[in-house]
Amino acid sequence: MSQLKLAIVGAGVIGKRHLLASTHLDDFSLVGIADPFPGAQAVAEKYNTQLFETTSEMLRATKPDGVVVATPTEHHLEPTLQSLDAGAHVLVEKPIMSDMQECEQTIAKSQSTGKHVLVGHQRRYYALVNKARELIQQGHIGKLISVSGQWTVRKPDDYYDADWRKKWQAGPILTNMIHEMDLLRYIAGDITSITAETANTSLNFEKEDVAAMVLRFKNGALGTFLISDQSFSPWSWEHALGENAAIPRTKQNSIKFMGTTGSLEFPNLTLWKSTGDKCNWSSEFESTELVNEQEDAYIKQLSHFHDVITGTQPPLVSAADATATLRATLAVYDSAKSGARVTF
């Protein structure tokens, strides 16, 4: 594989995760970091690369083939557009942008420059996610009828010390549901309408403590989902897999996909099928635990970014696809606020 020049904009929590992933790949050479925060100098030294205060200086000096945009979401747009204009392909963190208008600007710029935008929904790189998608989309549980899921955790109290974390933009819908929504769309297909309610009776901040929603999928299935950052429970993606060192692994599945001839518990895949030919409430069940390896999705994502830059593969998560995930996630908030069903 040819070595390509990679630059990172924003050397915070997730920027460092991409930097770490880059050390596992020979196909990129790191040419620079852009971050105005003086603390980023230590990060640049650690990764033996140059620090620039602005994206434009970095682009001029290093002429990268690929740029990872890992700035706070409200600062995704400018470095993304600048990088595309400079002839680089972009891997931008999720959510792709703050609103629909910024998404449209990004898609238009990608089209006019002919450069790709890949969006950092890293869960799509797990083999277990792709296995679940294959089982459902290839009809292994029959026709998908219903989906039931939750992401219910209690975040530490000091998480909310910063005032911005009390605002609606930092609530579990926009911070956490975006990952779940992307998974649901990727595995079960597009969502055509959402109805939701929220409550904030625990912390009484502007942000919600819980949201409950009803989702209608394009294939006709209905789903319900609960998202909460004030519910002490063992049921979340992170608890199920032990992906995050700060969150203990419970191995409890948090989403169930139910079809006419079987069901799938997710993300530790357990497939429930009938022991006989018939599938009804009198049928005996057999369950199978499907193989599920621990993987580093960030390395796989960056490796895919290399293939996107070289034109070997189209983006697994395109700007248009990630825009649909953001639209559905924002609809949860909008429906709860208006009391009306949001359809797309």
Ligand X SMILES: NC(=O)c1ccc[n+]([C@@H]2O[C@H](COP(=O)([O-])OP(=O)(O)OC[C@H]3O[C@@H](n4cnc5c(N)ncnc54)[C@H](O)[C@@H]3O)[C@@H](O)[C@H]2O)c1
List residues near ligand X by CB under 6 A. 9-15, 34-37, 40, 55, 70-73, 75, 79, 93-94, 120, 122
Q: Report, in Å, the least distance between residue 14 CB and ligand X.
A: 4
- What's the rounded Cα separation, in Å, for the pair 235 and 241? 10
- What's the rounded Cα separation, in Å, for the pair 333 and 139? 32
- If the CB atoms of residues 10 and 64 are measured against ligand X, the closer one turns out to be 10
Give me the phi and psi of 269, to 5 degrees please. -60, 115
- If the CB atoms of residues 65 and 93 are measured against ligand X, the closer one turns out to be 93
- What's the rounded Cα separation, in Å, for the pair 89 and 63? 11
Q: Report, in Å, the least distance between residue 143 CB and ligand X.
A: 32
Please name which of 279, 285, 283 lies closest in space to residue 142, comparing C-alpha atoms: 279
- If the CB atoms of residues 63 and 216 are measured against ligand X, the closer one turns out to be 63
Please name which of 254, 288, 316, 237 lies closest in space to residue 135, comparing C-alpha atoms: 288
* Residue nearest ligand X (C-beta atom): 12
- What's the rounded Cα separation, in Å, for the pair 328 and 80? 22
Q: Report, in Å, the least distance between residue 297 CB and ligand X.
A: 9
- If the CB atoms of residues 55 and 62 are measured against ligand X, the closer one turns out to be 55
Q: At what angle do helices 100-113 and 319-338 cross, to 10 degrees?
A: 170
Give, in degrees to the nearest 5, the angle at Cα 147 between 178 and 288: 110
- If the CB atoms of residues 3 and 101 are measured against ligand X, the closer one turns out to be 101
Q: Report, in Å, the least distance between residue 133 CB and ligand X.
A: 19
Q: Report, in Å, the least distance between residue 55 CB and ligand X.
A: 6
- If the CB atoms of residues 215 and 322 are measured against ligand X, the closer one turns out to be 322
Q: Report, in Å, the least distance between residue 85 CB and ligand X.
A: 16
